[in-house]
Structure 1
């Protein structure tokens, strides 16, 4: 069974199931669908459309039933290469034949839908061609910037590396630890740069607040130097396969401006590269708000509750420091917060969340509704202190 639609997001939104089991990492049935869908569309319209134009903004669910399915992992999240049943066709071949018949018949019987689909593909084609000139100029600019890119302090090992034969397992572990910290300003990036692990942790420094990219087209990614350099640093222009860092960590100050920059970056990823969020690559770095210490012990606290517990533990009026910016934390201290004890809060989409609706509400121009929401949910520091007491 296959259900197909489109939305206004970039990329593809595919959900696949085997015998009712949600295969979150896809597998041969999902890959078979991606290839077969392109082939059927090209054959039906008798045009050699680009695969990316055909699949842009697609939303689809693929459900198959297989005798004794073989999965690539114990959690049954990725279907392996296999046949539908003993002596039967491969999963990919079965899906190709199924779509070749059923989707082709459907499009012949529903000419209005076939015409809408054609317009959608040609719209994607036009957008891609319009971007081609801008893309070329932006890539040349990025190439020059990469030679002396002060924004990126890169690491040695990347998520998309080919591990060497020697020390292969150790290298793969470092690839899976690879992270890029996106920071605001030079003071914060300086502290992280001095305390990071140079093998697997990179730093990208923003200059002030990035653009609110909600409702803008991908053209803006190439025209905006900062977004273009970030895209190149991540290596995601052509898709997720080349992603250079497993973890993309937004590291901003714990103040209003820092929260705003965090929101603008999340909007950028959700608007143009939603797969990064869907595949759990985007995180928020949690850094301590307070340092509570006496002559014998230092405790770092991430919220008011932890601060009160630390005060109770140390007693006798300990020294309390409130950190507002990452630049206030010394490199030596910072090393403790981005090492083995790093606290990362994943950016997650709840099941059923619609990206465009979320962004429209929080980043769009619906000022009165958002204002009411803020007023209804506003909590001042006094309330928080009273709750803690």
Structure 2
């Protein structure tokens, strides 16, 4: 049994946040380098929110803490807005993560929207003629932790991580309403209330701009019309369960992919250049971006609150980029987009990363493709001396037949399905790696990057100079 120290440590830290004041200790005595970690948080889930917002810029200093009991359900909620544009809500029941949400999250969102709209009406922030603000407006930049303790839990969903108990929603609605209303009306919290409502009003204006942009995009961007004409090469199959969409870096690679694909089930959408980093952009800016608009139109589900998994046109969405730094950056940007605006595509298992080979080892008519350095070592030993070795620097270096055989053929290809094992940790890492603050990113890279990794290709080249050519 492989017990991973860091994975266990992350879970214990999470439990320490969820159980205020309880100390969790971890001791690893399996080898000479003994490791120990201890976690205890006096602030409980408020400290959890501080941690999640640690690399963001909070709008107000202290998280808002709401707790209470209703119908035998203990409810503990902490929340704090930041100056970002994405909502980050993490929920738990009896310390179990409910990554797919459920009735407790629904109750929280409904009560939050009603209480804040009522406050805006009472304070004349919204006039009688003004429409109410949406829940999406009030949750822009919100980080929240919801923790319930209850009996007889009912889990639903494909992965059994969505709370199904109907009694949880009214219980959460009651506690949020009873606790948040007096908090907002307390004069000492007037500045906090003002910052929350000001951000929501601005978000509503941006949302309206984005709505108009989406309406325009829908009207002019049917699959057979702009902006996809000349871009998306559709497949002929009409069964979404069998169809795949490849998001391919660059026109040259996109051209090879179009020629080498199985036209019955594989659609190709080439991406020109690097898309926007959505972590630093407002929704209207994302919608206005041509590359993302093309992806949204091709996928068919819509985004944000308009997202509808039932309208998904492709069972697999495969990111195909070069095996270099630029390719890795493009993958990170696209995954950030899906995480922020189409998260259910990831949680439902529809997003994949295609793995093109790094090396081609050939001796006469014998060809072996290697996808990493370990496979290269095996391939060179297997094929024997006198081989030629080609290192692929980009997808564009492969002809259509090679791209099909190595990267697109379901019989031979290697894919990584993107998943979210720890939603809170993913949120934290996305903020560090894709956010505005440079210092946390430098610190993370300094700690985890391996700058001394040997270049296996050059080692092989030096060792076999007499009998091979390098392409």
The normalised TM-score by structure 2 is 0.64
- Cα separation, 2, equivalents of 1:44 and 1:200: 52
C-alpha distance after superposition, 1:265-298 (max 9, x if no partner): 456556x637368736544321111222445753
Do 1:10 and 1:273's aligned partners in 2 also have CA atoms closer than 8 Å? Answer: no
Secondary structure at the aligned position of 2:163 is classed as: coil
C-alpha distance after superposition, 1:13-57 (max 9, x if no partner): 211111121111122222222222222222333352223212222
> Which residue does 2:185 correspond to in 1?
108
- Cα separation, 2, equivalents of 1:148 and 1:26: 34
> Which residue does 1:309 correspond to in 2?
378
Q: CA RMSD in A?
A: 3.8
- Cα separation, 2, equivalents of 1:13 and 1:365: 21
Aligned pair count reads: 361
Q: 1:358 to 1:296 in 2, by over 3 A?
A: closer
Query: Paired residue for 1:78, among 159, 162, 174?
Result: 162
- Cα separation, 1, equivalents of 2:157 and 2:278: 38
C-alpha distance after superposition, 1:97-118 (max 9, x if no partner): 2222122232223333222221
Per-residue deviation at 1:81?
3.7
> Which residue does 2:266 correspond to in 1?
201
Greater RCO (Cα-Cα under 8 Å, separation 6 or more): 1
Gaps of 5+ in 1: 83-89, 159-170
Does 2:307 align with 1:240? Answer: yes
Pairs within 5 Å for 1:41-190: 41-46=116-121, 48-72=132-156, 76-82=160-166, 90-109=167-186, 110-143=189-222, 145-146=225-226, 149-155=229-235, 175=241, 178-190=243-255
Per-residue deviation at 1:331?
3.4
Does 2:111 align with 1:36? Answer: yes
Pairs within 5 Å for 1:193-232: 193-198=258-263, 200-211=265-276, 215-232=280-297
Do 1:276 and 1:282's aligned partners in 2 also have CA atoms closer than 8 Å? Answer: no
Secondary structure at the aligned position of 1:69 is classed as: coil
Query: Paired residue for 1:287, among 356, 363, 368?
Result: 356
- Cα separation, 2, equivalents of 1:115 and 1:61: 22
C-alpha distance after superposition, 1:308-329 (max 9, x if no partner): 2111112142343332332333
Secondary structure at the aligned position of 1:307 is classed as: helix
Secondary structure at the aligned position of 2:428 is classed as: coil
- Cα separation, 1, equivalents of 2:158 and 2:220: 46
- Cα separation, 2, equivalents of 1:75 and 1:54: 29
C-alpha distance after superposition, 1:103-155 (max 9, x if no partner): 22322233332222211211211222344554554444434834862211234
- Cα separation, 1, equivalents of 2:395 and 2:336: 22
